[in-house]
Structure 1
Amino acid sequence: MLTLYRPGDGLLHRTPAGPKALVVLAAVLAVSLLPSTWWAAAAATVAGVLAYAVAGLHDGMLGMRELGSQVFGIRWIILITVTGQLIFLGAESAFANTTRVAAAIVLTGLLVLTTRVTALLDAVERGLKPLELLRVDPQRVALLLTVTLSTVPVLARLARDVREAQRARGARGNLRTFVVPFLVMALKHADELGDALTARGVQ
């Protein structure tokens, strides 16, 4: 099963999964609640840059190489979002809303990059323990949340790999030649994920 975890000894790597998830959730919520203004777009951008700078990813560029990789991976989401917003809301709102969406995604990706999936799963499961009183299975809910959290950055990485492979072969970039191999890789990842879950006794 593909994982985006990057071993390291930075601040976020050393922070326990539970508190780290709460901090990231708070940061994503704060970014999402910003108004649709130019200064809010700047604040969301600064939040993303600072988060990657202090993460200790050791990419040789103080986290900016990995941040650029994450943004590049969601470029189609950015393009579609900003285009739709420009048509209906105008430049300021379109830029601000798109920046907030992108910042929320890359901040979530940072949690996956600095936390092992098993540690994140255990932390979410412990946090949901009180829900057992309501006949909710914390293990299943935690698994669902963890898989969902991991899927977006994984699909972004797969999309980037497809484009890099096409460029290496000198293929022209167009939507038709991109979609088929991307879907094949995404379905392969889904199969591997299903096999991994089955091996762990998840029905």
Structure 2
Amino acid sequence: MLSLYRPGTGVLHRLTAGPKMLLLAAAAIGLSALPTAAWTAAVCAVAVFSAYVIPGVGVRTLGREMWGLRWVLAVTALGQLMFLGPEPALANTARVAAALLVAALLPLTTRVDDLLDALEKGLRPLRRIGMDADRAAVLLAVTITTVPVLARLAAEVRDAQRARGVRPSLRAALVPFVVLSLRHADQLGEALAARGVR
């Protein structure tokens, strides 16, 4: 299975998957719950910077993740600015960015196998109500790891177009993006079949 995991020796890399999921979820929810005030942007910036630098994930990785979110943040900021004004736009965009960047730490610091095992253990009590915990864990793990992979594929298509001197456009990028996405889906299917998932 394709993964965004980056090897490291920091605190987040050493933390087991289950507690790490809970910690990052609590951090994302806490940052999202900050009030709509200008100082919220500063708190979010310091929190996210610390979350990437202190555990050793790195500023370069943070920059890459922020660059991948640029359109989401631009649309969020523009919509908020038009309807709510500058201060709420700044605070709300900062909260969205912080929550997404903190959530991105999970696939960056956790191997897919460890993530699957933790999800299977966490969902095991739901078997009592007839839920297949193994399939649910695979579905969640695939979702967590696939969304950033697709964002990276879209960035690769744009970079390839720029390298060829083609002006980036949605129409020109659609076909190569679909082809790369289908190739990723095939690889993902093969990896799941090798794991015994049908």
Q: TM-score, normalised by structure 1?
A: 0.90
Letter in 1 for 2:127: E
Question: Over residues 26-45 of structure 1, what are the superposed CA-to-partner deviations in whole Å (9 max), with x where a residue is unaligned?
Answer: 11111121222211122122
CA distance in 2, matches of 1:151, 1:101: 20
What is the match of residue 71 of structure 2? 76
Q: CA RMSD in A?
A: 1.6
CA distance in 2, matches of 1:181, 1:99: 32
Question: Over residues 139-171 of structure 1, what are the superposed CA-to-partner deviations in whole Å (9 max), with x where a residue is unaligned?
Answer: 112112211211222122222222222222222
Letter in 1 for 2:2: L
The question of 1:102 aligning with 2:97 is answered yes
CA distance in 1, matches of 2:187, 2:87: 42
Question: Over residues 1-55 of structure 1, what are the superposed CA-to-partner deviations in whole Å (9 max), with x where a residue is unaligned?
Answer: 4211011111111111111111111111111212222111221221111100023
Distance 1:165 1:24, change over 3 A: same
Point out the more displaced range, 23-32 or 84-93.
84-93
The question of 1:66 aligning with 2:61 is answered yes
Length, aligned pairs only: 198
- Contact 1:4 1:154 (8 Å CA) reproduced: yes
Shift of 1:194: 2.3
CA distance in 2, matches of 1:166, 1:186: 17
Distance 1:146 1:97, change over 3 A: same
What is the match of residue 52 of structure 1? 52
- The 5-angstrom pairing of residues 162-173 of structure 1 reads 162-173=157-168
Q: TM-score, normalised by structure 2?
A: 0.92
Shift of 1:190: 2.1
What is the match of residue 152 of structure 1? 147
Structure 1 residue runs without a partner (length 5+) = 58-62
Shift of 1:182: 2.3
What is the match of residue 24 of structure 1? 24
The question of 1:11 aligning with 2:6 is answered no
What is the match of residue 60 of structure 1? none
Percent same amino acid among aligned pairs?
57
- Contact 1:70 1:153 (8 Å CA) reproduced: no
What is the match of residue 189 of structure 1? 184
What is the match of residue 43 of structure 2? 43
SS of residue in 2 equivalent to 1:128: helix
SS of residue in 2 equivalent to 1:97: helix
Structure 2 residue runs without a partner (length 5+) = none
